[in-house]
Amino acid sequence: MSDQGYTMISSDISENVLTLTLDRPERLNALDSAGKAALGRAWHDALRNPSVRAVVLQGAGERAFCAGSDLKEIGATGQVARTDVLASCLPGVAEDFTKPVVAALHGHVIGLGISIAMYCDFRIAAPTARFRFPEVEHDMLSGFSAIELPSLIGEAAALDIMLTGRSFDAFEAQRLGLVSVVEEDPREAARSLALRLAALPVSAMGWSKRLLLAERRTRIDRHLALVDQARREVGEHER
């Protein structure tokens, strides 16, 4: 269970599949600072747990996968998460995550919610899912999305959705390449895929991910300092 002051990360392991649930449905699973740190610890622990061979990431409730960062907390404290904390809650950013991750997306998928999904290996969305990057209108950044999104959907499309902040649906997300597939029940579909992935050889899976994402690893390492600088300068401007 969760309350309005803290984002819980619920977890369950069954048949070598870890299901992580962003569990704050009353706030559309928006991540506060504690929730970001908790999600980072969940990725860290899952990587080192031999019982975990695949991961499903989902949101609790019916209204949202994740509505991004908790803007009420940011407004009240005047603080945003440190870059290292933010990096830790994105699978494969703070450290290589060699196990397959499937995101089950429904309802609102906003800002940081898209960023987290982007760094998962598969993104399965409900037909009713809605996506949006609202950061620019709040004088904020989505730095890790900005360095990765062009490689997924191309520069022109990335500039369009990140600079305008417009909303788009699951079918456009699939056409762009942001969503792998659209399914009526993304949680069930994600679970089914994760079970198939968990049955595959661990070493081959891990090395395949390392090789497939080697360029992304280089890109993250090359631009990490720039992301941190951008976030600090925008934060100083806000103050």
pLDDT tens for 50-85 read 999 999 999 999 999 999 999 888 888 877 888 899
For residue 103, the cross-strand partners are 57, 123
Give me the mean pLDDT over the 24-35 stretch. Answer: 94
Mean pLDDT, rounded, of the chain: 93
Position 19: which residue type?
T
Give me the percent of the chain exceeding a pLDDT of 70: 95
Evaluate if residue 195 carries a pLDDT over 80. yes
Q: Is the pTM of this model over 0.85?
A: yes
8-186+201-238 placed in CATH 3.90.226.10: yes
Evaluate if residue 235 carries a pLDDT over 70. no
| Rounded (10°) CA dihedral 180, 99, 112, 63 | 60
Give me the mean pLDDT over the 159-177 stretch. Answer: 97
pLDDT at site 80: 82
Q: Which of 135, 188, 202, 195 is nearest to 166 (CA)?
A: 135
CA pair distance 128, 126, nearest whole angstrom: 5
Helix, coil or strand: residue 142: coil
Q: Tell me: the pLDDT tens digits for 92-109? A: 999 999 999 999 999 999
